[in-house]
């Protein structure tokens, strides 16, 4: 057994050599969950607010606050857009959630989402050079039901303090109403990362997977398992980018989506699902066996597995099939099991397996690009531009069946993505501050390097401590006890 290190490299190798692939896969989940809780308690969360301006003497307090700051207030009063440059607003994102669908754990109560929302803020800072604040809100009305209008009103009220809003972990159908309303009614970009972010990175992964399989997006048959915000948005972006909706079938908890699903048509809250019913599955296929036979692609964002997607289904797919099993924290089928069943390329949402198709490589660059040009919204064209940016970046440095998209440790992918998104925002006419691709790239790269250097400096100088080795040993022993009991 290898020694556990704070870097957690080669995570699968820390477990006993005689463990099966299934035991190692389960062990990773148990280990990471246990360690995460202990580490969050040790550090008291994972983000903080720090000054970005110096205090060079007593009178600098009077510059940063009263009376000097009065000039800042009146300048912004006369030109609200000045707030993007005279305050941190131009690089500040609100991560907003009512915590009603946190990962695979469902409704975790408003404060229960803080771990995930702080995680978003952490990644935005380190990967995108963006400041972010976690805002978990109570969306329940007097009847005890979650009311999307309360989230809409909250975001509209606080939008003037931020350069963009990242919606997260809002259950459907409320998430559709919240996003669509805020995209139209706010003067800053509102991005739903569970939907748009996941769709963007999934499209990027699919583009490169199909290149390796020597297939065209317009030709392939795709089965979507799960009809939540993520998969419905993935389908929409794939269709917009050239996929054939007539060759697509989507499943929800009641069966396939098609034009005869009167239950979906009758519930106006699920209008996004009804759009899929109208566009896809023209033959009204009803069973998985019929839908999956000779399908080229299976994209699943459904109930965490590992037995949600059956090996027998994968065996029915076409040659060189592509399987995306992206439920978190446990994929619907483990990669080794999908490969055993004949899948050519397998992707999950987890970084401890090959091909992490996760929005973590999307939103830092996408939001950074939108912020740089002070965009008023993030269009579908901007999301598709980000997908192609990610796919092209990976292709240029080399792709293979276990490496179809960039990873979070490829630092340069984020300024490239930001510049591509900023350029598309200008083309779409939603940018307040046009700039060249090179200027956007350089600005993003500078901010990202600043954030990473600051984090490294805080660690090197002891302001951020190493996790105690006992914490890692304890997590490992707990994992072994749970797997072998």
* DSSP result, 327-338: -SSS-SS-HHHH
* Residue 219 in tokens: 């030709």
Per the annotation, the verdict on 344 as an active-site residue is no
Q: Count Cβ atoms within 10 A of the Cβ of residue 113 and give its class: 0-12 exposed, 13-18 middle, 19 or more buried.
A: buried
Give the separation between CA 117 and CA 99, rounded to whole angstroms.
9
Query: Which one from 26, 38, 120, 273 is the annotated catalytic residue?
Result: 120
* Segment holding 225, helix H or strand E: strand 222-225
Per the annotation, the verdict on 120 as an active-site residue is yes
Side-by-side strand order, sheet with 345-348: 255-256, 248-252, 222-225, 297-300, 322-325, 345-348
Q: Are 228 and 250 in contact (CB under 8 A)?
A: no
* Residue 274 in tokens: 């009804």
* Residue 302 in tokens: 């459904």
Query: Which one from 41, 52, 65, 427 is the annotated catalytic residue?
Result: 65
* Residue 442 in tokens: 């350089």
Give the separation between CA 166 and CA 155, rounded to whole angstroms.
10
Q: Shortest CA distance to 326 belongs to which of 175, 37, 104, 102?
A: 104
Q: What is the CA radius of gyration of the chain?
A: 23
- What is the set of active-site residues? 65, 120
């Amino acid at each position: 057994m290898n020694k556990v290190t704070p870097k957690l490299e080669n995570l699968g190798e820390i477990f006993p050599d005689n463990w099966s692939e299934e035991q190692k896969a389960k062990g990773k989940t148990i280990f990471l969950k246990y360690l995460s809780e202990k580490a969050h308690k040790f550090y008291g969360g994972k983000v903080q607010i720090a000054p970005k301006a110096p205090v060079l003497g007593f009178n600098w307090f009077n510059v940063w606050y009263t009376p000097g700051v009065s000039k800042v207030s009146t300048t912004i009063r006369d030109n609200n857009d000045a707030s993007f440059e005279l305050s941190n607003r131009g690089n500040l994102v609100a991560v907003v959630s009512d915590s009603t669908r946190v990962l695979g754990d469902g409704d975790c109560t408003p404060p229960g989402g803080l771990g995930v929302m702080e995680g978003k803020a952490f990644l935005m800072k380190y990967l995108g050079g963006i400041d972010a604040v976690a805002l978990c809100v109570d969306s329940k009305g007097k009847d005890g039901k979650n009311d999307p209008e309360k989230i809409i009103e909250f975001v509209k009220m606080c939008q003037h303090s931020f350069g963009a809003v990242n919606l997260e972990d809002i259950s459907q159908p409320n998430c559709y109403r919240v996003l669509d309303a805020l995209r139209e009614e706010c003067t800053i970009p509102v991005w739903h990362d569970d939907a748009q972010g996941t769709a963007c990175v999934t499209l990027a992964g699919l583009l490169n997977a199909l290149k390796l399989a020597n297939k065209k997006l317009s030709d392939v048959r795709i089965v979507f398992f799960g009809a939540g915000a993520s998969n419905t948005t993935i389908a929409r972006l794939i269709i917009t980018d050239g996929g054939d909706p007539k060759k697509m079938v989507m499943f929800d908890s009641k069966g396939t989506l098609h034009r005869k699903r009167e239950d979906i048509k009758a519930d106006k809250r699920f209008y996004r699902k009804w759009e899929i019913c109208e566009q896809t599955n023209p033959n009204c296929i009803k069973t998985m066996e019929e839908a999956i036979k000779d399908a080229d692609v299976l994209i699943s964002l459904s109930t965490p597995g590992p037995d949600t997607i059956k090996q027998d289904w994968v065996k029915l797919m076409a040659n060189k099939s592509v399987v995306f099993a992206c439920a978190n924290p446990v994929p619907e089928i483990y990669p080794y099991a999908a490969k055993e069943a004949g899948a050519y390329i397998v992707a999950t949402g987890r970084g401890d397996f090959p091909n992490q198709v996760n929005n973590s490589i999307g939103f830092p660059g996408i939001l950074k690009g939108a912020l740089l040009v002070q965009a008023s919204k993030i269009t579908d064209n901007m999301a598709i531009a980000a997908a192609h940016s990610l796919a092209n970046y990976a292709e240029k440095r080399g792709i293979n069946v276990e490496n179809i998209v960039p990873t979070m440790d490829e630092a340069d992918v984020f300024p490239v993505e930001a510049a591509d998104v900023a350029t598309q925002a200008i083309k779409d006419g939603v940018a307040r501050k046009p700039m060249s691709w090179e200027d956007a790239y350089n600005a993003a790269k500078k901010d990202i390097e600043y954030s990473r250097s600051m984090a490294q400096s805080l660690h090197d100088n002891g302001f951020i401590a190493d996790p105690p080795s006992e914490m890692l040993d304890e997590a490992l022993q707990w994992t072994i006890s749970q797997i072998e009991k």
